[in-house]
Amino acid sequence: MDNTVGIGIIGDLPANRTRVLERYHRMTEIHISRFEAGEVKIARAPGRVNLIGEHTDYNGLPVFPMAVDRDIAAVFSPRADRRIILANTDPGFTERSFEIQELIPAYSTGDWGNYCKAAVQGLLDFYRQKHRDSDRFCGFEATFDGDIPVAAGMSSSSALVVLSALIFLASNGLDLHTTPSGRLELADLLARAEHYVGTQGGGMDQAISLMGQSGHAVKIDFFPLRTRSAPLPKGYSVVVANSLVKAAKTAEAMDKYNRRSIECRLAAAVLKKIFSETYRRDVPIFLFGDLKEEKLAVPDSEIWKISDSTFRGDPYTLGEIAAILGQTVEKTAQLYCKRRDGSIFPEPEGGFKLQQRYRHVIEEGRRVEQSIQALESGDILQFGKLMNQSHSSCRDLYEISCEELDRLVEISREAGAVGARLTGAGFGGCTVNLVRDNGVESFIRQVIKSYYRDYLRREDREYGSMLFPCRASDGAAVIGETNTRRDRI
Ligand code: NG1
């Protein structure tokens, strides 16, 4: 290896130190030759795999992900002007360049540069509220390199948002990311900031990318954001399998995702109306997560008696929902069915499935609590059972699975997984599997044969990027700099 660039590492490196250092070295050289930079810094933001709790985050109910040992890393250097230049070691992501300004115009939907713009715009808005105007910030140039499977439900997009935010902060001498409370504040603002790209997602991905802890999964609660780490079970591995169905954030995929969050908002509005009529006062329900005694001042047993019997199984037209809410169809659409760009989400053919979405989210939230109890009491089989139930609910009630994911989950259970489910937004992407350590090898062999070879009819030489065990890693950080004496390689 050319040893002209010294890399100093602050803190711990993920496992496989030599490979990781070689990667940073290669990135640094690419960066220095592209930008002629002198001193540079290195930062990383991990992807995640969600063990259980799907589509609960934006409904105010908990999730239970872990940050993984796959990440997006960047070598970067601040600039004296206000330009931001983004390079990528993957030639598929061509260079992007933009100026810091009050309102940064987005690239077209799905463009990788938008994830960086989202972070910068979010931070500019945040600091503007703190009376620092955007003129005071400098730009940066950065070279990115990622090994998180893209469009696979492992949150490569939020890792890019989080990483861009760290680069912006570090380039401007800001320290929001350096304390635990600052990291929570940052996670919270980046969750909102990511809506810039068009999805109306929750806050799981940004929070776990920042708050991940090596060897642990993290329970995340929302509104207000808080986290609690739980050690992963000894003797078991978390294995991720890519269905190879791309769940890209194109306009069409975004509409599928956003439809679910719109249905949840409509259902919550209906519940608010029913509870407010029953108790003859304004009952504060905005999200399914508000359905709790301390929030509503209604006994738990009453809450579930009313809410479980509110929705019928058949889907609703917007007209029917508007009639329940006592509003016009236009007002209902304006209040609950808006996309980020202000356009109205069209009424789905066949109607809004309020009961099914309500049941999935409420039961999934309970499964998260039960999973953590199971894990803490060492009942791993129960944990696996809850993962399996979660998959069925994602498939039947939330309708975010697909044929390939269902087949992959089936095969994985036959291959020995004690729990197997889709992970992330769904509509393709990865599954997460809990597998006994001593069964991982045969699990991998069997899934390669039954899913990739027999079912997908693929013959690849290398399956390591499709099917791999993950270790729980620490959250995003600025982890190194060049030309220091420490830890020179
Ligand atoms: P992914 O899998 O990264 O698209 C999305 C949302 C999460 C969460 C999950 C479903 C974003 C950035 N992420 O994740 O907040 O709602 O779906 O549990 O929108």
**pLDDT tens digits, one per residue of 453-475:** 999 999 988 899 899 999 999 99
Among the atoms of ligand 1, which is closest to the Cα of residue 191? 12
CA of 146 to the centre of ligand 1 (A): 19
Strand order in the sheet with 236-242: 419-422, 430-436, 236-242, 467-470
pLDDT in tens, 86-113: 999 999 999 999 999 999 999 998 899 9
Residue nearest atom 5 of ligand 1, based on CA coordinates: 425
Among the atoms of ligand 1, which is closest to the Cα of residue 425? 17
Residue nearest atom 19 of ligand 1, based on CA coordinates: 201
Q: Which of 421, 477, 437 is nearest to 241 (CA)?
A: 421
Strand order in the sheet with 7-9: 7-9, 477-482, 41-52, 64-78, 140-146, 83-88, 96-99
* Pairing between β-strand 7-9 and β-strand 477-482 as defined by DSSP bridges: antiparallel
Predicted pLDDT at 342: 83
Among the atoms of ligand 1, which is closest to the Cα of residue 247? 4
Share of the chain above pLDDT 90, in %: 83
CA of 33 to the centre of ligand 1 (A): 36
Poorest-confidence range of 19-33, 79-93, 162-176, 201-215? Answer: 19-33
The better pLDDT of the pair 1, 266 is held by 266
CA of 230 to the centre of ligand 1 (A): 21
Residue nearest atom 11 of ligand 1, based on CA coordinates: 201
CA of 56 to the centre of ligand 1 (A): 10
Which residues surround ligand 1 with Cβ inside 6 Å?
54-55, 57-58, 153, 155, 157-158, 194, 199, 201-202, 204-205, 424-425
Residue in 50, 51, 54, 57 to alter for ligand 1 test, most ligand atoms within 8 A of Cβ: 57
Q: List, in order, residues 6 or more apart from 272 with CB less than 8 Å away.
A: 283, 284, 285, 286
CA–CA distance, 200 with 265 (Å, rounded to integer) = 11
Annotate 392-405 with DSSP letters as a single string: HHHHHTS----HHH
Q: What is the mean pLDDT of residues 290-318?
A: 98
In the chain, count H helices and then E strands. Answer: 14, 13
Among the atoms of ligand 1, which is closest to the Cα of residue 201? 19
Residue 67 β-bridge partners: 48
205 among known catalytic residues: yes
**Which amino acid is located at 69 in the chain?**
D
Task: Give Cα separations from 474 to 46, 69, 171, 174, 286 (angstroms).
Answer: 8, 8, 22, 21, 33
Q: With a cut of 70, say whether residue 193 has pLDDT above it.
A: yes
Neighbours of 472 (CB within 10 A): 25
pLDDT in tens, 143-176: 999 999 887 789 999 999 999 999 999 999 999 9
Q: What is the mean pLDDT of residues 5-17?
A: 63
CA–CA distance, 208 with 192 (Å, rounded to integer) = 15
CA of 202 to the centre of ligand 1 (A): 6
**Which amino acid is located at 309 in the chain?**
S
Predicted pLDDT at 4: 45
Q: With a cut of 70, say whether residue 71 has pLDDT above it.
A: yes
Q: With a cut of 50, say whether residue 486 has pLDDT above it.
A: no
> Is 0.75 surpassed by the pTM of this model?
yes
The catalytic position among 57, 71, 145, 205 is 205
CA–CA distance, 464 with 390 (Å, rounded to integer) = 26
Predicted pLDDT at 2: 38
pLDDT band at residue 20 using 50, 70 and 90 as cut-offs: confident
Among the atoms of ligand 1, which is closest to the Cα of residue 55? 18
